[in-house]
Structure 1
Amino acid sequence: MSEVQTIDDVVLYEVRAQVAVITMDRPEYNNAQNSQMTYALDKAFQLACNDDEVKVIVLAGNGKHFSAGHDIGTPGRDVDKSFDRTNLFYDHANKPGGEFLYAREHEVYLGMCRRWRDLPKPTIAMVQGACVAGGLMLAWVCDLIIADDKAFFSDPVVRMGIPGVEYFAHVHELNPRIAKEFLFTGDRMSADRAYQMGMVNRVVPRDNLEETTFTLANQIAQMPRLGLQLTKQVINNAEDLMGKRSTMDMAFGLHHFAHAHNETISGDRLGGFDAKAMAQANKSAAKEK
């Protein structure tokens, strides 16, 4: 087991035998993803890809929840800040109007998630508690998802008038009718329901989550590296032939039309929601069930 590294104060990285463990470390904000965390995650994935001893990557979140989604209201929100970009897209920070958010989200959300999905080593999301919106994107880019039996999944951004998160994989992770219900209602989907839909590989008690995840990771790590990479490549390519990438391109454009519409109507890209208002709306909806 290697020494735990801290990347940009918000992500932890270590290697356990042939398994790299990347852990989001903003538990006080339920691992809400600001740009600082997103770029730190990218650095961690690069470390794992560059290490020939690493065969499998586990993505985790410290604390009660895997991830509450994009940071839309913590003191560390950094939407206006420039970072050293990882994709071939220009800086967003000095751009006017809708170009500001389009450029930023093309880089930090759609672009990075697509790169992480296609990295050449198997990835496993180890999910506890909430996996909401941006957290759902992080789980979906992983090849496998192991969840505890209290975990739940949701994409409530239709409340903002926006057609789902930027990495729009809903109709591939779920069948179309279930994807419509998931988005139309914004309801939480339990881990058991997600398993029934084929979105989650295994559901286990919280106390067994880590053991189950690493047992599976170590089993996969016994396979030859090239065999794993080629298998992942062909399955991802098959998904894209079924329209996954094209759907995301279309959805991303509509997503940003919705942002621009919100700003024109209300002066706010998120339709008047911040982190507290969104969390309260989601909790109230859950209590009504």
Structure 2
Amino acid sequence: MGNAVREETHGHVRRLTLCRPDRYNTITPELRDELGTALDVAERDPNVRVILFDAEGPAFCAGYGLDWSTDAQSGEEQRDERVWDSVRDQHMIGSFADTWAKLHDCSKPTVAAVQGWCIAGGTNIVFNAHLIVAGESARFGYPPSRVWGIPEAPWNWVARMGLQRARRYMLTGDEFTAAQALEMGAVLDVVPDDELHEHAMSLAQRIAQVPGNQLEMITWSLNAVADEMYDPRASRRLGTLFDGVARHTQEGLDFVERSQEVGFREAVRDRDRPFGDYGERRP
């Protein structure tokens, strides 16, 4: 059992649970490595037919841990005599994006159950899942598009909600509710929070009644359609490149400097205050 991801097996369903609820399951290198390994092991296990991905606590995933990530960028730039190296940065952030992509590329159906905040890097992860069910408390959005980032795989947004809606939410960083996500087609179902995990497991178990070889053939066939329509690999490459660029624009550097001066929480408040949402929501 890892520190960031817990693994359980329920019949033919492998359940992977983000288990740092006190930290809102924020993304760390440890989470990346544990999730990547767990997905690889589940895909190789002939007994596993479906992968269920969920989280403990009030938030599914509140994005990248800005404590370590802003510190890392600040320290890197203080150490380096060279200017920002986009290729080195691509390898770094690409290692995260490639891990999340396993949820899409997997030959076995992946089902995600989301409650509470699933924002910023959290959407980078969960929008790769084949099926998403949400609790009524779920909230989605990509606030770093206002400064210091863009989604690592923009194709996921277009595939889930259509081009115009993707533009609307990516260009503003605005949040949207579970009900809005359902109306746009970004999630499959919305249920009361206290029914979410039972509902998701029931769906996963229902799918797992189908023979594993059938499920893999269907998943490969559907993934081929998505890959042809949206070219996920090219989208990830461009998304991660521009994500790096966004972190090294003047505004991005100012955000890191502000985070070092007053703490990342206050820097985020400064970013979101004009929009009046997320932690700055007005009553």
* TM bin (shorter chain): 0.7 to 0.9
TM-score normalised by length of structure 1: 0.83
State whether structure 2 residue 184 is matched by structure 1 residue 203.
Answer: no
**Pairwise CA distance, 1:271:** 7.6
State whether structure 2 residue 14 is matched by structure 1 residue 27.
Answer: no
Alignment partners' CA distance in 2, 1:74 and 1:220: 39
Identity of aligned residues (%): 25
Of the three residues 67, 92, 100, the one matched with 1:104 is 92
Q: After superposition, what is the alpha-carbon deviation per residue over 1:49-71, rounded to whole angstroms, capped at 9, x for unaligned?
A: 22221111111111111000111
Structure 1: which 5+ runs fail to align? 1-5, 81-92
Q: After superposition, what is the alpha-carbon deviation per residue over 1:146-193, rounded to whole angstroms, capped at 9, x for unaligned?
A: 10011110111122153x221222212211111111122221111011
Structure 2 equivalent of residue 11 of structure 1:
5
Structure 2 equivalent of residue 167 of structure 1:
153
Alignment partners' CA distance in 2, 1:79 and 1:12: 29
Alignment partners' CA distance in 2, 1:186 and 1:63: 24
Structure 2 equivalent of residue 42 of structure 1:
36
**Pairwise CA distance, 1:23:** 0.8
Structure 1 equivalent of residue 77 of structure 2:
none
Q: After superposition, what is the alpha-carbon deviation per residue over 1:21-51, rounded to whole angstroms, capped at 9, x for unaligned?
A: 1111111110001001110111211221222
> 1:121-140 maps to which residues of 2 (within 5 A)?
121-140=108-127
> 1:212-223 maps to which residues of 2 (within 5 A)?
212-223=199-210
Q: Is the 8 A contact 2:36 2:102 kept in 1?
A: no
Q: 1:17 to 1:149 in 2, by over 3 A?
A: same
Alignment partners' CA distance in 1, 2:272 and 2:10: 37
**Pairwise CA distance, 1:142:** 0.8
State whether structure 2 residue 241 is matched by structure 1 residue 253.
Answer: yes
Q: After superposition, what is the alpha-carbon deviation per residue over 1:182-238, rounded to whole angstroms, capped at 9, x for unaligned?
A: 122221111011011111000000111111111101100011212211211122221
Q: After superposition, what is the alpha-carbon deviation per residue over 1:106-146, rounded to whole angstroms, capped at 9, x for unaligned?
A: 1122x222233111111111101000011112211111101
Structure 2 equivalent of residue 85 of structure 1:
none
More helix by share: 2
Alignment partners' CA distance in 1, 2:172 and 2:179: 18
Q: Is the 8 A contact 1:59 1:125 kept in 2?
A: yes
Paired positions, count? 268
Q: Which runs of 4+ in 1 moved over 6 A?
A: 77-80
Structure 1 equivalent of residue 53 of structure 2:
59
Alignment partners' CA distance in 1, 2:160 and 2:226: 10
- Calculate the aligned-residue CA RMSD, in Å: 2.9
